[in-house]
Every structure is written in C-alpha cells, then in structure tokens.
Amino acid sequence: MIRFENVTKRYPSQSHPALEEIDLNIERGEFVFLVGASGSGKSTLVRLAIREEVVTSGRLLVGGHELRKMPQRKVPQLRRQVGTVFQDFRLLPNKTVKQNVAYALQVIGRPRRAIRALVPETLEMVGLADMGERMPHELSGGEQQRVAIARAVVNKPPVLLADEPTGNLDPATSLEIVKLLRRIHDSGTTIVMATHDNVIVDQMQQRVVELEDGHIVRDEIGGSYVPKVVDARDREEREAERLEEDADRPAPPEDPPLGEVHALDDWDDDAEDLLR
C-alpha cells in the first residue's frame, strides 16, 4: 500500500540527507510504529507519503501511484485516501467540534445528507458524542486529539498516518488515544504512527521500524521501543562507515523541478477504491 524504493530525501539547505536509500513496504492492514531519535527522519517519511515533500531520488508508491510523477491537481485525491493526525491537533479554532469534522467532508463535496449521518457516527466512535457543540479551546488535549482523529477518519480513508499523536498528552491520555487508533486499525485501516512513546510501543507489540540518521536500522514484527539486544559496537561501525561515505560524496543534486515530471493519467477519478 505504501512502498518506498531506494528513496532519498535531501532538503535543499541540508548537506546531509534527511532520509537515505530507504526501502520500506507497508502492506494493507498493518500497524507500524516509526521510532528513532529526534531528527532521524520520521516526520520526513510521513510528509513524503502525503506529498507535502517530494522525494529527491528513488520511487515512492502509495496505492500503486508514484508520488513524484503525480500532477499537483491529483494531490488532493491522494490526501483523501491518507488521513493524517499531528502532535499539535491542528483544529480550526473558530469552528465547533462538529463543524471541524464536517469541514473535512464539505471540502471534498460530500452531500449534506451524508455529512449529517457521518459526523455524529464518527464523534460517537471517538467517544465525543456529547461534545459536538463545543469549541476546541473548551476541550482537553486528549479530547482535541480525538476530534483530530475523527476528522482524519470521517471519510474512511484506507490509511492513517499519525505523527507523534500523543506527543503533547500525559501517559494515561496517550494510552486512550492509542486504544482508539487500535480500534480504527481493527476496522481495517492501515496505520503508521511516528512516536517517542516507549510505553505504548512496548505494550502494543506491533511492527517497529527504527530510523537512525535517515536510515532504517531495524524493522521488527512484534517489536519493542528499544531493540531486545542492542549491539552498540555494530551501530558505531555503521556510523563510521556512513561518515566515510559522506566524505567521498559528490555535491548533492538539485531537487528536480516538478514541472518537468510527466503527468500520470491513470488516476481513478472515482477515488473511493483507489487503495483497495
């Protein structure tokens, strides 16, 4: 469903790539934790998958579509299929809870009747059935994140990407949020969650992909936050090798201008089944 093939991402101002030669395949129905130190590339990986950023080299396919070749006008269709949740909730401050969730459907032109049915149903699913008329500032952090999750899934996207969704929450609230994500996963949604939360990762026992300095250094089914056997010497050797490689590296190539890539015309305009 999401496939990185030899993907490198270099931000224009950076000498060191944020991600380098990443190979990663996430299948439909998986729950994947992305872990790694600050700056290791987790958010970059998420941003690439919704085409907020474009790969520098390699191929990134989402639902069979290569994102670098996707024309800009198709990007909204991609984002309809890939829900996102962030650490800072990103709710519309001047809209009620209901309006925040409804807005996600209005912008994609869903009819009013569908919106009237889907919004209460989704608020109930996230445990906020009675809070539809509140404003975001009248909610706790955990409640705000539930609204953000409701908004991300109200259109029933096949994939949900969550970038540190519990980063601003206390441990008990974080656990509640993750239980909610697990329920969404149980209903068939593929979930990728970047996190620093070791308690959650250890408890959930899901696939763990660990990034270090833009490289995948671990990909483990049923993993924990810290690898069971840490081979520090191994890591030091890898780091030394990378530094040597960096010294020999030629100047980084410029990001290709988007205008030059070829349009992909086989996007299914009836996007409902795109990623199935």
Minimum distance between the CB of residue 16 and Mg ion, rounded to whole angstroms? 16
Beta strands in the chain, from DSSP E residues, in sequence order: 2-9, 19-26, 31-35, 57-62, 65-66, 82-86, 159-163, 190-194, 207-212, 215-220
From the list Mg ion, ligand ATP, none, partner contacted by residue 132 (C-beta under 5 to 8 A by kind) = none
Stretch that binds Mg ion, among 14-22, 38-46, 78-86, 216-224 (CB under 5 A): 38-46
Nearer to ligand ATP, 43 or 206 (CB): 43
Q: How far apart are CA 84 and CA 107, in angstroms?
A: 16
Distances (CA, A) of 235 to 33, 229, 249: 21, 12, 21
- In the list 40, 43, 155, 174, the residue contacting Mg ion (rule: CB under 5 A) is 43
- The answer to whether residues 18 and 214 touch, using CB atoms and an 8 Å cutoff, is yes
Among 6, 14, 94, 205, interactor with ligand ATP by CB under 6 A: 14
Q: 199: Cβ–Cβ under 8 A, 6 or more apart, which residues?
A: 171, 174, 175
> Is residue 267 a contact residue for ligand ATP (CB under 6 A)?
no
- Binds ligand ATP (CB under 6 A): choice among 2, 4, 24, 41: 41
Q: Look at residue 39 and give the partner it binds from Mg ion, ligand ATP, none, a contact being a CB closer than 5 to 8 Å depending on partner kind.
A: ligand ATP
Amino acid at 163: D
Q: Which two tokens stand for residue 48?
A: 């690439």
List, as one string, the DSSP characters of 9-29: E--TT-SS-SEEEEEEEE-TT
Q: Which does 187 bind (CB under 5 to 8 A by kind): Mg ion, ligand ATP, none?
A: none
Nearest partner of 151 among 189, 118, 109, judged by Cα: 118
According to the binding rule CB under 6 A, does residue 144 interact with ligand ATP? no
- Select the span of 9-17, 34-42, 88-96, 128-136 touching Mg ion (CB under 5 A): 34-42
Instruction: Please state the closest distance from residue 30 (CB atom) to Mg ion, in A.
Output: 20
87 binds, among ligand ATP, Mg ion, none (CB under 5 to 8 A by kind): none
Residue numbers at the binding site for ligand ATP (CB under 6 A): 11, 13-14, 18, 36, 38-44
Residue numbers at the binding site for Mg ion (CB under 5 A): 42-43
